[in-house]
Amino acid sequence: MTGRAGRLRSAVPLTVAVLAALLAALAAASATAAPLGEIHSFPLAPGAAAQAIVAGPEGDMWFTEPEAAAIGRITPAGTITEFKGLKGAPDGIALGPEGNLWFADVGPHMAIGRITPAGEITEFSEGLNYHPYSIARGAEGDLWFTTPSTIGRITPAGQITEYKKGVFETPGAITAGGDGNLWFTVEGTEPAIGRVTPAGEVSEYPIAHKWLEPNAITQAADGSVAFTTASGDNEGGVYEAVVGLVTPAGKIYLSPAERLDAIPAGIATGPDGQLWFAGEGVEPGKSSTIGRVSGELKPEEFPNEAAHYFTAGLAPELEPEGIAPGPDASMWFTNKGQSPAIRWIGTGSPAAAKESPVVAGPGEVGATLTCENAVWNSWAGQQPTTSGFGLDGYTWLLDGAPIAGQSSPSLIVTAPDAGHQISCSVRATYPLLSVVVSATSPAVTIIGPPASTPAVPALLRLPRQSQNVSRRGALHLTLDCSGAPCSGSVRLLARVRERTGKGAHRRTRTVSVTIATASFTGLHLGADSVALKLTSRGLGLLERGAYRLTAPALVSYLTSGSTRASLSGTVELKGTKPKAHR
């Protein structure tokens, strides 16, 4: 960091920043993850037994340790932190829509648990009737889990619902499908693959060969669901371990012609679009393995290529368990055998960021900067979204530290920023992989305003108004600016009720949620409008209120080159009721 006294009040820092941005973009474009098959290991304490693993919201991987009653976090560099204080043994783990990690605690005090990135643990048991096992995030933001007799759902607020109708055997692993439903394995005398809709309707599709018991499941790159099976009691007396495929319509295909050389314990789609599985040797002396098969499995030629195995550095007694893609484009996996560790294997995929974002606009007080031009590589045939999930979005940094409350793509530069460095970070999610990635721009050094341009204060007023909202959530908010053109941001809020606690401590509280945000620059003097779009939650609240909703509005804007101001008011939103079909 450059000292304040040594900073030049000129455009030179901007030229340097542009050059740095070009160099960063070139470096990002050439960056790749680890070579295919390269394995790294980070030891755990002797006797530890890691199980399920998942990518977290901030570039780390999170895993469960049932025997230690702990949740673990590991950084890309291999630094491991354990969080204890659980009431039982955590099993499955998933990333929630709000950025926390959710896990299934099988007991003895069974619960669905939540742990924040800072390690704060909360467990929910009210409404839970059976020991939970596996857990996954659904398309609508709730978490879904399996128990020995039911399929369960828990909201981010902790409300649990269980569904038993249609569940005939023992549900096992669960995953989100590309069709918006949840898919799960069914163990027992009638092995099957099950499906549950967001409304809780359960269907089960039997596996023809009853000796093949499914044990892991994931969404494949082609939109189907892939699962692993294993058994030793088939009609021919030959051990079989195969990969299966189920279409959205429930049609199941198996690959008996291509038996796997290992017992698959976990399966996940990788950044390369391939299906990666962790396998234990099927016979004494046979090595454990990390395997890979095609992630675009066509039923008429299933499988369309043989499995490839990576065994270098994996001992026979390793017993790989869970596996999941990470933000570094590698596959991370756990093991329960000797030499416990968290390991990753390179997929040969490119790094997520192909080109870093840049800060565009004059780097001077009073200007509006925008964060733009981030370019991402495709993983598993998908581009990441920067707005589809709650974790997605923008962060502005002042000398490397986040600026509170600044999460829009643009930022107004104020006088206190002069002489400091401003950069921006973009966070995005690959939906299929449920992996959050980020990229940060080079920094721009801010210079003061020209001495010949005195700052003219701008005054902003929010008139009382009633706005019509289109069916797509679009509306135009009227603002009244005087004195000088106005720049800033606007946020619409709604008050919702949520339930917290349990038992005698259960209570209902009212909280504010954001239903629309927008940034604006250079509003004309007098009445002008800012375009906004309600979120899906905002539209839902509008509909719930019989197509009327009173939304408090918070507006932050620049009054001069040195002062930010804010004002508040209310806006009545009016929706359009859909016409009934005749």
- Digit-coded pLDDT (tens) for 109-147: 899 999 999 999 999 999 999 999 999 999 888 999 999
Total residue length of the chain: 582
Q: Assess whether the previous peptide bond of 303 is cis (omega < 30° from 0).
A: yes
Query: Which residues, 6 or more positions from 554, have their beta carbon under 8 angstroms from its beta carbon?
Result: 490, 491, 493, 566, 567, 568
Q: For residues 190 and 206, is the Cβ–Cβ distance under 8 A?
A: yes
Its sign, for the CA torsion 438, 81, 145, 292, is positive
Query: What is residue 385's DSSP assignment?
Result: B
18 pLDDT tier (thresholds 50, 70, 90): very low
Of the listed ranges 33-37, 368-372, 419-423, 557-561, the least confidently predicted one is: 557-561
- pLDDT tens per residue across span 45-103: 887 889 999 999 999 999 999 988 999 999 999 999 999 988 889 999 999 988 999 99
Q: Has residue 152 got a pLDDT over 90?
A: yes
Q: What is the pTM of this model?
A: 0.74
- The per-residue pLDDT for 240 is 65
Q: Give percent above pLDDT 70 in the chain.
A: 83
- The per-residue pLDDT for 92 is 96
- The per-residue pLDDT for 115 is 96
Q: Nearest 5°: CA angle at 404, between 76 and 528? A: 125
CB atoms within 10 A of CB 165: 9
- The per-residue pLDDT for 505 is 64
Q: Assess whether the previous peptide bond of 271 is cis (omega < 30° from 0).
A: no
| Alpha carbons 135 and 400: distance in angstroms, whole number | 36
Of the listed ranges 94-98, 376-380, 503-507, the least confidently predicted one is: 503-507
Query: Which residues, 6 or more positions from 360, have their beta carbon under 8 angstroms from its beta carbon?
Result: 369, 370, 371, 372, 373
Domains of the chain: 4-29+351-445 (no CATH), 42-346 (2.130.10.10), 459-574 (2.60.40)
Higher pLDDT, 388 or 104: 104
- The per-residue pLDDT for 239 is 56
* Mean pLDDT, the chain, integer: 84
Most confident of 205-214, 258-267, 449-458, 571-580: 205-214
Q: Give percent above pLDDT 90 in the chain.
A: 54
